[in-house]
Amino acid sequence: MAALVKPTSKFTTTTPKFSNPITRRPPPSQLKFSTTMIKASAATTATAASPRGGGGKKKKEGIKESLLTPRFYTTDFDEMERLFNREINKNLKEGEFEALLQEFKTDYNQTHFVRNKEFKEAADKMQGPLRQIFVEFLERSCTADSEVVKLPHITVKEMFVCQRKCWDKLINKEFVILSKFMQKTNPVVAEIFSLMSRDEARHAGFLNKGLSDFNLALDLGFLTKARKYTFFKPKFIFYATYLSEKIGYWRYITIYRHLKANPEYQCYPIFKYFENWCQDENRHGDFFSALMKAQPQFLNDWKAKLWARFFCLSVYVTMYLNDCQRTAFYEGIGLNTKEFDMHVIIETNRTTARIFPAVPDVENPEFKRKLDRMVEINQKLLAVGESQDASFVKNIKRIPLVAALVSEILAAYLMPPIESGSVDFAEFEPQVVY
């Protein structure tokens, strides 16, 4: 099948320019960011405990609600069934899904997620601000930086933001139910969902063990019962899940390469597993890419272009604002937060342009300037929320700030986009990205 629109040539092979420009794009093994010595302190979190025990594991139940807090979504179950039904949807190319199924069956990471004594030893040695920051990172990873899409009796993961972690355990059994439900309508796609659940269960178990190293426990059951659900159409789940997997890949591989080049910042061995781990993310993204290509209406009209740009911008802005609230963690592993985020955004955008019909021009310097202005406004909003003013005074102060933030987001959305995308598997076959 011919490509709808050929990928634009605007994407160059040069590395994005940061404060310390790199004149040529180095091979992955040499990719470096400017390193930053940790200089921030953090308050001890409610779930942190002494390095060597002293009481049982404490439970973390609540999530502080904000504009950046992840949401739970519900969707149209009947439409999901129709989209996957081989008799109804003639665009489902069995050969392409069979190839993906073989990739999943190979199970490259079957023996990868094996812990050793380094984990507990590293956790016990981690003290002071870095330990506190890392505990907060684990908490966010398990409670705040993932989202769940809930179908009637079924849950399908998707994510607006970046770090997908222990929610995988929460949704694993629902992936299995989805797989069983689809056995008659599309057994190949059903088996892929089942194998995705295998991957996610593996990730979740690995991360839950990491929480135990820091004497933490998380009450996932409380969170699922306490949160409200918002309706979300299946095509939006496809957009968001694809982006979540690909941006997860670029975050993991970038951190892995940075720490391999700067081992003095390797504070916890979980990062050593990111190279193989991120290939699961990449493979899952390829699966959702195939699902979208089987639904040309999601990719080939003007509405698809508008929605594609919206989801890209939502993911990029949310990640940037969230990470800029937590620069201490990235500084703790020697990364410059904004440089790291822009690298991830640019690489994710280049990857996404292979399938989405339009993407934001994130390599335009004005895009980063807008992101930085959003950070400044968001910091002012946070300051208002933490002030001792009365509630009505806070709300009045928020009005111009929220208006300014919305204005910046809208201006970023209206920047001339990059026309891109393809539904031709011949040019963009799923492959390992390094």
Can you give the pLDDT at residue 214? 84
Can you give the pLDDT at residue 10? 39
pLDDT band at residue 205 under the 50/70/90 scheme: confident
| CB distance 266 to 272 below 8 Å | yes
Mean pLDDT, the chain, integer: 75
Residue 343 CB partners (closer than 8 Å, separation 6+): 15, 16, 18, 33, 250, 254
Instruction: Output phi, psi for 403, to 5 deg.
Output: -60, -40
Tokens of 5: 């629109």
Q: At residue 307, does pLDDT exceed 90?
A: yes
Can you give the pLDDT at residue 176? 52
Q: Which comes out higher in pLDDT, residue 415 or 203?
A: 415
Can you give the pLDDT at residue 142? 58
* Chain segment 237-258, per-residue pLDDT in tens: 889 889 989 999 999 999 999 9
Instruction: Please report, for residues 161, 184, 371, the alpha-carbon distance to residue 341 in angstroms, rounded to integers and kept in the order given.
Output: 12, 43, 11
Can you give the pLDDT at residue 75? 67
pLDDT band at residue 20 under the 50/70/90 scheme: very low
Proportion of the chain above pLDDT 70, given as a percent: 65
Tell which residue, 320, 315, 312, has the closest CA to residue 353.
312
Least confident of 155-159, 255-259, 273-277, 425-429: 155-159
Tokens of 378: 């968001």
> How much is the average pLDDT of 142-157?
38
Angle at 87 (CA atoms; ends 86, 93), nearest 5 degrees: 35
Give the DSSP H or E segment for 350: helix 337-352
Q: At residue 9, does pLDDT exceed 50?
A: no
The pTM assigned to this predicted structure is 0.77
d(CA 369, CA 388): 31
Can you give the pLDDT at residue 255? 94
The torsion defined by the Cα of 200, 265, 139 and 320, in degrees rounded to 10, comes to: -90
> How much is the average pLDDT of 181-199?
80
Residue 392 CB partners (closer than 8 Å, separation 6+): none
Q: At residue 154, does pLDDT exceed 50?
A: no
pLDDT band at residue 156 under the 50/70/90 scheme: very low
pLDDT band at residue 201 under the 50/70/90 scheme: confident
How many CA atoms does the CB half-sphere of 248 hold within 13 Å? Answer: 29
Q: Which comes out higher in pLDDT, residue 344 or 300?
A: 344
pLDDT band at residue 2 under the 50/70/90 scheme: very low
Sheet holding 154-158, edge to edge: 154-158, 147-151, 72-74, 229-231
pLDDT band at residue 57 under the 50/70/90 scheme: low
How many CA atoms does the CB half-sphere of 434 hold within 13 Å? Answer: 7
d(CA 229, CA 120): 37
Least confident of 91-105, 203-217, 282-296, 392-406: 203-217
What DSSP assignment string belongs to 233-257? -HHHHHHHHHHHHHHHHHHHHHHHH
Which residues are bridge partners to 200 per DSSP? none
Q: Which comes out higher in pLDDT, residue 410 or 97?
A: 410
* Chain segment 405-434, per-residue pLDDT in tens: 999 999 999 999 999 876 554 344 444 444
Domain ranges of the chain: 71-305
Instruction: Please report, for residues 110, 136, 213, 246, 423, the alpha-carbon distance to residue 305 in angstroms, rounded to integers and kept in the order given.
Output: 38, 37, 45, 19, 14
Can you give the pLDDT at residue 218? 62
Highest mean predicted confidence (pLDDT) among 10-19, 37-46, 47-56, 365-374: 365-374
Can you give the pLDDT at residue 407? 98
For strand 154-158 and strand 147-151, is the pairing parallel, antiparallel, or unpaired? antiparallel
Can you give the pLDDT at residue 364? 98
Which residue do the tokens 């699902």 mark? Answer: 291
What 3-state class would DSSP assign to 418?
strand
| CB distance 359 to 308 below 8 Å | yes
Q: At residue 6, does pLDDT exceed 80?
A: no
Give the DSSP H or E segment for 392: helix 391-413
Instruction: Output phi, psi for 405, to 5 deg.
Output: -65, -45
Can you give the pLDDT at residue 421? 76
Q: At residue 170, does pLDDT exceed 90?
A: no
